């Protein structure tokens, strides 16, 4: 029998791949798997866990898979890193509305991380690449905090560092500097390990490269230690006794809104219970009382019965109350904080300026309605934005207001302090997110803001976790979740401004310039190389 060459070729084609071939294919999957898993590792570093230090190996692994690759590979690996990080971090966004909005949000937000991955891969070929790469990450965060729909800064690296050694850097340059330090240290760790492995193989490493790795890890840590001098919880302009009320809600989830009067009554009842304890000498008399966002979803200006409930609570406690209300004015809906004096009634208001897309207003309403009309029914009327910073005058104390979602935005907290706030309050409503990690993530933001601006931060929440946070970021009191409770404490009033408060957006702009410089260098080198090749 004769065997032709063609039949032999066919037999070869039908043979299963050899073990080395299968191994090579699996090896090609290692960078992709590492990128996704390092994103998960970054997620684990975030609250409610206190494993802040895991952010360093997360970025070290991310740097390892990106270093020396082309921008297209960086784009794909960055997207996988973003999915690994954001999918579990933002799962709370789908607790009550299903997985559709959650997946859509993550798919869009991960695009920013993909672009960062491409940028990091590009600058990884430069000398001192950890510096350029960390600046590129902050540039990605800056973009994500502004677009689309006025931005979504949730998941900034700084917000995972409330328990970490780097936290004092928030007072130096805000969330951009704090985040930059963490990412730089992580990429520096990557470079140190890479050079260490090279040393074992060749016994030769450039001194300049070793110096870069060492500096990238040492400078952030040493700077954080030095910045501790900026952190203080001492009173500068006296003290104030503040009460934080958590009235709880009748039921979990979105349906709590159907019991709006019950929510108002719960907060009034808890305030009156506190008043009884004050009268009995069990708790100190507060100078003012802070209720959470949506504590009166019934408009007290349009409903006399609602205003009567608030007045009765204010008279019982004998102190002004900041009430979170939903108010309709001139045909527009506002998420409003109302200062309610026991004698004068409503004296000041603050309208939330950074309203939440898909929660308080619906972008592209007609398009979304065509996809799923149930989503449009959840936001029947868009909330309008306020235009002025909120600073309430409670006697000698000035309290700045950043309502819930606003705590994630640098500018929305900072300008309350530049307008004279001695204390910051973050009234929130987390009842729509069940017992998810959302409330702990938001609480960590408030701790970072306390250090950033050296102010006491109070967090009154409808259903928990409510808290009082000192200017050094320490939580001194907090409630449980879905319980009625109150917190009373004497807190320091502070008027000095940290470097972060004074500098505002400037540190972020400086890091954007560094990122642009690194990317410009790479692009310019590529263009020069193409010209030389053409010649």
Count helices and strands (H / E) in the chain: 16, 12
Residue 282 and residue 513: Cα distance in Å, rounded? 56
Residue 262 and residue 296: Cα distance in Å, rounded? 9
Confirm if 378 and 97 have CB atoms less than 8 A apart.
yes
Q: Which of 170, 224, 181 is nearest to 452 (CA)?
A: 170
Residue 291 and residue 336: Cα distance in Å, rounded? 12
332 catalytic per annotation: no
SS3 457: strand
Q: E strands along 283-406, which residues?
A: 288-290, 321-329, 332-341, 345-351, 390-394, 397-401
Residue of 283, 336, 398, 404 marked catalytic: 404
For residue 105, the cross-strand partners are none
Peptide bond into 333 cis (omega under 30): no
* Concatenated DSSP letters of 101-150: HHHHHHHHHHHHHHHHHHHHHHHTTSTTHHHHHHHHHHHHHHHHTTTTTT
Chain Cα centroid distance, residue 377? 28
Residue 366 and residue 108: Cα distance in Å, rounded? 19
Confirm if 74 and 66 have CB atoms less than 8 A apart.
yes
Residue of 352, 360, 398, 437 marked catalytic: 352
Sign of CA dihedral 492, 495, 500, 501: positive
Strand order in the sheet with 345-351: 345-351, 332-341, 321-329, 288-290, 239-246, 485-492
Q: Which of 99, 113, 103 is nearest to 155 (CA)?
A: 113
Cβ neighbourhood burial of 318 (10 Å; 0-12, 13-18, 19+)? middle
Residue of 293, 311, 360, 437 marked catalytic: 293
- The contacts of residue 62 (CB under 8 Å, 6+ apart) are 35, 38, 39, 81, 117, 120, 186, 190
185 catalytic per annotation: no
190 catalytic per annotation: no
Cα maximum dimension of the chain: 111
Which residues are identified as catalytic?
293, 352, 404
């Amino acid at each position: 029998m004769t065997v032709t060459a063609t039949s032999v070729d066919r037999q070869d084609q039908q043979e299963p791949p050899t073990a080395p071939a299968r191994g090579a294919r699996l090896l090609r999957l290692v960078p992709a798997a590492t990128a996704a898993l390092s994103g998960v590792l970054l997620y684990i570093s975030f609250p409610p866990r206190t494993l802040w230090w895991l952010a360093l190996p997360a970025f070290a692994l991310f740097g390892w898979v990106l270093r020396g690759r082309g921008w297209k590979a960086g784009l794909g690996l960055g997207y996988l890193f973003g999915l690994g990080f954001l999918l579990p971090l933002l799962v709370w966004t789908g607790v009550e509305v299903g997985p559709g909005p959650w997946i859509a949000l993550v798919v869009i937000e991960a695009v920013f991380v993909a672009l960062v991955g491409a940028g990091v891969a590009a600058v990884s070929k430069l000398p001192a690449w950890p510096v350029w790469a960390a600046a590129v990450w902050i540039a990605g965060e800056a973009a994500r905090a502004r677009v689309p729909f006025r931005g979504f800064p949730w998941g900034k690296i700084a917000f995972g560092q409330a328990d970490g050694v780097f936290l004092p850097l928030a007072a130096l340059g805000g969330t951009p500097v704090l985040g930059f330090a963490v990412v730089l240290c992580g990429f520096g760790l990557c470079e140190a390990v890479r050079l260490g492995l090279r040393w074992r193989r060749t016994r030769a490493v450039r001194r300049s490269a070793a110096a870069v790795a060492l500096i990238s890890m040492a400078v952030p840590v040493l700077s954080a230690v030095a910045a501790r001098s900026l952190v203080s919880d001492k009173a500068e302009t006296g003290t104030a006794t503040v009460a934080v009320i958590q009235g709880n809600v009748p039921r979990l989830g979105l349906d709590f809104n159907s019991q709006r009067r019950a929510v108002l009554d719960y907060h009034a009842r808890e305030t009156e219970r506190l008043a009884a304890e004050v009268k009995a000498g069990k708790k100190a008399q507060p100078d003012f009382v802070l209720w959470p966002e949506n504590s009166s979803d019934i408009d007290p200006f349009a409903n006399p019965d609602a205003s009567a409930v608030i007045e009765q609570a204010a008279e019982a406690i004998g102190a002004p109350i900041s009430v979170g209300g939903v108010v309709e004015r001139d045909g527009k809906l506002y998420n409003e904080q109302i200062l309610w004096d026991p004698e004068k009634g409503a004296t000041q208001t603050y309208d939330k300026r950074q309203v939440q897309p898909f929660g308080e207003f619906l972008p592209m309403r007609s398009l979304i309605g065509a996809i799923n009309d149930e989503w449009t029914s959840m936001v029947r009327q868009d909330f309008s934005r306020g235009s002025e910073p909120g600073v309430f005058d409670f006697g000698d104390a000035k309290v700045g207001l950043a309502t819930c979602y606003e705590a994630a935005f640098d500018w929305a907290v900072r300008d309350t302090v530049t307008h004279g706030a001695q204390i910051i309050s973050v009234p929130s409503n987390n009842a729509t997110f069940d017992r998810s990690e959302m409330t702990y993530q938001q609480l960590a933001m408030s701790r970072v803001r306390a250090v950033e601006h050296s102010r006491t931060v109070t967090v009154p929440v409808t259903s928990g976790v409510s808290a009082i946070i000192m200017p050094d970021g320490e939580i001194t009191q907090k409630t449980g979740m879905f319980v009625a409770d109150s917190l009373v404490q004497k807190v320091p009033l502070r008027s000095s401004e940290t470097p972060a408060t004074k500098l505002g957006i400037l540190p972020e702009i400086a890091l954007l310039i560094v990122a642009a410089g690194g990317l410009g260098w790479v692009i310019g080198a590529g263009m020069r190389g193409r010209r030389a090749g053409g010649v």
